Structure 1
Amino acid sequence: MRLTFAPLAVLAATLFISGCVSPPAPPRPAPEPVAPPRSTPPVSPKPQGADWRDWAVTPGDWAYRADTRGSTAVFGAARGDALLTLHCDRTAGMVYLSRSGAVAAPLTLRTSSLERTVPVQPSGASVSATLTARDPLLDAMAFSRGRFIVEQPGATTLVVPAWAEVARVIEDCRG
């Protein structure tokens, strides 16, 4: 009889020990889904330090096109928003610098070699400054080290790359 009780004793001991183990913890709830970030239009970076030459460039690209009267370089976002435009009127020997916005305050242009404030005239949804084709400010913009800035009270500062399109418009006007 001893042999019959042994398996029962082992079974009873196993059931007794398994009763001492706590039940598994309930599963943790799934984390709340994170909403994807909203896309925002390109915004000029806020100044990051004392030296403007270290500021990040305003998002956008230059586009150049020539026409029968001269040429135009447009800086802006890919979706077609022109932030800054240089237009050459070859017949008049003038370069028109236009900035989007309706603020009629003068523009201050800073390059690595020159800084100057120029008056503007309202022109629809932008303001425009007129420069002669031989104005040294244009050369300073074309040859600025990497970027130049366009400041205007009441408007966002533009940190614009000094790409070849700027020089092309100037050279087109000088003939």
Structure 2
Amino acid sequence: MQTYIALLRGINVGGQKKIKMVDLRQLLAQIGFKDVVIYIQSGNIVLKTEERNPRALEKTIASEIHESYGFDVPVLVKSKEEIQDIIEKNPFDNSEDLEANRIYFVLLKEVPKKDLTEALVNETFANEKFIITGNCVYLCCAKGYGNAKCDNNFFERRLKVPATTRNYRTMTKLLEMSEK
């Protein structure tokens, strides 16, 4: 069995797209996923399956949510190994920034086009630094993510790829949960 981390975007935020995590866990177990564990209320799921295609898993989860709840939710699935690699390659490893929750990972569904990446890399923003790789934008927000101009929507618009963002604590907790 392969362990995956599924990340749902935009649920249980501001009263929109409400999904009880206990119900979601039960739904995913009913359709065949094993050892389903949910972390906090914002759609962070660790699960096991025989399926080896993350894109197929994204479609299955999104389809089941649409069928059960009547709305669309973007789903991004990464293997445990991908998440571990992303965390290990984090260039923003200042312990003060990590402890103060200033480090974020904008996880990309696909590799952005080179010209879009190159155009964005040359821009600078006060209190925000980022480094773009093939599958992740590493982001350091000196004033916190809530005040950042470079948020998830910004990177989706500029790179023209679907994305979802998680902070360092969430990423490390998901990795820890996936190792059980």
**Fold shared, TM-score > 0.5 on shorter chain:** no
State the TM-score, normalizing by the size of structure 2: 0.29
* Highest RCO, 1 vs 2 (Cα 8 Å, sep ≥ 6): 2
Q: Which has the higher Rg, Structure 1 or Structure 2?
A: 1
